[in-house]
Amino acid sequence: MVKLGALVKAGVVNAEGFYTLGGRLAIDFANSHERHGHEKDGLGSFEDLLNFLKSHKQLHEDEASDLHMFLFQNPERCHSVVEALVGLRGKFRNVLDQVANGWPVDPDFLHEINSRLEGFKSHLKVEPAEDGMELKTVISEQGPEKLAFPILRDIADFLASDHVEKTKSCAGDDCGLYFVNLSRNGRRRWCSMSTCGNRAKVNAYLKRQEA
Ligand SMILES: [Zn+2]
């Protein structure tokens, strides 16, 4: 197995082992069942979800520790947030398979995304950022349900973008990771050259040796 540090350097995973090769949060979420160095589902627990969002810069450390406290007070409510997201992820992966095969986006999935987004009250806010100003969407929800918002928002943004037709699943055997193909020639086949691409090269080499 390739070492974590090397994969982080290559932009394949982040330091927490979650895949970052999708090209955007929505796709990294679709790939979140896999976590480098972990056998279990990458979103197997509420802590996993906090780590996923923190390591994708969608959650501040202080917010995460508040929510961690919430986990002790109301574990059921926290677990149901994770369960709902894992369910949504399965449906999203089906949608990605369908669109990769030329099908339109399932209207039931659109309906589900929209009805979940409808549950959030939000407003826009302009804020000083590192480089000038930044326009932010602030939501009023402060409970664990707020963790779903950045994911839902990026799935919605993804569906409304030209990334839909550019999304591919890795050609590697049993890989199942998705990525937005933004390569200039559009020929990218592998989730990453450090893993599946390299394996395919090695296999092709071994086959040539046998012949
Ligand atoms: Zn792959």
Could you give the CA distance from residue 55 to residue 58 in angstroms, rounded to a whole number?
8
Ligand 1 centroid, distance to 172 Cα (angstroms): 5
Residues with CB under 5 A from ligand 1 (ion): 170, 172, 175, 177, 191, 196
Domain spans of the chain, in order of start = 4-210
What confidence tens digit (pLDDT) does each residue in 86-139 have? 999 999 999 999 998 889 999 999 999 999 999 999 999 999 998 899 999 999
What confidence tens digit (pLDDT) does each residue in 158-193 have? 999 999 999 999 999 889 999 999 888 888 999 998
Ligand 1 centroid, distance to 174 Cα (angstroms): 8
Ligand 1 centroid, distance to 140 Cα (angstroms): 38
Beta bridge partners of 138: 123
Q: How confident is the model at residue 3 (pLDDT cuts 50, 70, 90)?
A: confident
Which residues, 6 or more positions from 120, have their beta carbon under 8 angstroms from its beta carbon? 139, 140, 141, 146, 149, 152
DSSP string, 150-198: HHHHHHHHHHTSTTTTTEEE--STT---EEE---TTS---SS-IIIIIH
Tell which CATH architecture fits domain 4-210.
Orthogonal Bundle (1.10)
Ligand 1 centroid, distance to 23 Cα (angstroms): 14
pTM above 0.85, yes or no: yes
